[in-house]
Amino acid sequence: MVALRHDEFHALVERMREDFKNADVMTVSEITREIRQSLETGFPSVWIGGEVSEVKRPVSGHVYFSLKDETAKIRSVVFRSALSRIKFVPSDGMEVVAHGRISVYEPRGDYQFICDSIFPGGAGALSAAFEELKAKLEAEGLFLQERKKPLPFFPARIGLVTSITGAAIQDFIRTAVRRFKGVDILVAPVRVQGESAAEEIAAAIEQLNAFSINRGGHGRKPVGVGVDIIALVRGGGSLEDLWSFNEERLVRAIAASKIPIVSGVGHETDFTLADFAADARALTPTDAARLCVPDAGELKLKITGLAGRSAGGLGSTIARKRLEAERIKSRLARFENTADEARQQVEDLSEELERAVFAVIEKLRKNTADLSFRLTGQNPVQKIFLARARTLDMSRRAEMSIQTGLNEKRRLISDRARILGSLSPLNVLDRGYSISFNKDGGIVRDAGDLKPGDQLRTRFSKGEAESEVKKVILPG
């Protein structure tokens, strides 16, 4: 032990005071809040397996318990709002597998596991839950083949539901653009793993359905309105990673969609309930793009093949007509007395041949022009131009309709005002007539209703006068 002199001790105390004054001192609440944010950011979605102990159910409706193994224990809670989604309430000694997030209960400074899903533990717990829900939804007919909708051959717009941070979105867009450069893709960004991921995906599917306009078939839609097909994609992962795609909320949203859905979740060996409910299952996100978007190169080859077959058919027709002409010429040699008739037949066949040739050529031109027009129609600039033209036309029609209606209402009001004016009793007064009222304010129509001494109020075209009845004179 080293003894300090008085001056050394005093200097040491002063340095400690200075260090304390300059230190960044945190309150207990501040450090607890920092720890909570760190844990919630680092563990937003975890699966934990263990034995249930210390189960408590207070009047609040929440369920408190601990999960433990041989060497550690973690406090856990299922809030009342999540109990409706859990098939059973855990009890002491039960082995479970639970999903949730890590947080901190600040008043006690305890870290805890907030559960949103619990399954019986042991091997195959999630697989058992998967098969149970699959059997339930299959019995309801959600996976029937006859419920599935055909995919459009040439979709005007694709709704892509996926995470914007994963590789799946890049694989899908890269493949789609490579197959057809003019493809229009509307991305609905969602989380594809963890708490609330299934709810986000289901909501995105429902919104795409709500914003879409059913115009019959798979015709073009105005720019910015609706999609023709929905692609639901994400990369591969474990059963736990892909569990959001097995939740009942999402599966029912897929089955209820009016727009065809292609599911490209995981790898070729991964299966989810979303795959069974979708209208088509793709092996990977890249394969989903192939199902949604036609290959422009293949389309060109098909067009070239059609043109070649048409040209071949034209050649066959010409050869056949030429052979018929040669046969007629040989008959002319044998039957000179029918030369004029044969010559006429040759001319008729020549005209028929010419018409056939022109018909085939015209049909080929029309098919080529139609295919070219359909390809050109995918140009976004052309779609914007057509949408603006339709909007201007509708605006002009609405303005004309409103103006016509206003003019008609003005004319009707003027006519009725003129009729009301002609029926007004005040106009009668202008012609020299007057109206008399008794003391009760009633109109006097018969002199027999009066007697001497009655007070009258008479109204003229301009002004009124009060009088007293002196004598009643009746007719006859």
Q: Which residue has the higher pLDDT, 124 or 365?
A: 365
User: Would you state the pLDDT for residue 67?
Assistant: 92
* 3-class secondary-structure state, position 334: helix
pLDDT, tens only, 23-52: 677 788 888 888 888 887 888 888 888 888
**CA distances in angstroms from 263 to 31, 172, 218, 292, listed in the order given:** 45, 12, 20, 11
pLDDT, tens only, 72-112: 999 999 998 888 777 667 788 888 888 889 998 888 888 89
Q: At what angle do helices 248-256 and 125-139 cross, to 10 degrees?
A: 30
Q: Does residue 60 have a pLDDT over 50? A: yes
Name the residue range of residue 442's domain: 435-468
Asked if 169 contacts 160 with a C-beta cutoff of 8 angstroms, the reply is yes
* Mean pLDDT within 301-318: 66
Last residue of a domain, one of 294, 317, 347: 294
Residue 63 forms part of a structural domain? yes
Verify that 161 and 286 share a domain, yes or no: yes
Verify that 69 and 158 share a domain, yes or no: no
Q: What's the CATH code of the domain at 286?
A: 3.40.50.280
Verify that 110 and 173 share a domain, yes or no: no
Give percent of the chain above pLDDT 90.
19
Verify that 290 and 303 share a domain, yes or no: no
Residue 417 forms part of a structural domain? no
Verify that 251 and 266 share a domain, yes or no: yes
Structurally, the chain folds into a number of domains equal to 4
Residue 11 forms part of a structural domain? no
User: Would you state the pLDDT for residue 215?
Assistant: 44
Verify that 186 and 238 share a domain, yes or no: yes
Verify that 167 and 219 share a domain, yes or no: yes
Residue 34 forms part of a structural domain? yes
Verify that 201 and 289 share a domain, yes or no: yes
pLDDT, tens only, 278-308: 999 999 999 998 999 888 777 777 676 666 6
Least confident of 183-197, 293-307, 440-454: 293-307
Residue 306 forms part of a structural domain? yes
Verify that 198 and 283 share a domain, yes or no: yes
Last residue of a domain, one of 340, 359, 376: 376
> How many other CB atoms are found less than 10 A from the CB of residue 273?
25
Verify that 308 and 341 share a domain, yes or no: yes
Verify that 370 and 441 share a domain, yes or no: no
Q: Does residue 329 have a pLDDT over 70? A: no
Q: How far apart are CA 95 and CA 125, in angstroms?
A: 10
Please tell me the pTM assigned to this model: 0.45
pLDDT, tens only, 119-176: 776 546 667 778 878 888 899 999 999 999 999 888 889 999 999 988 889 999 999 8
Q: Does residue 254 have a pLDDT over 80? A: yes
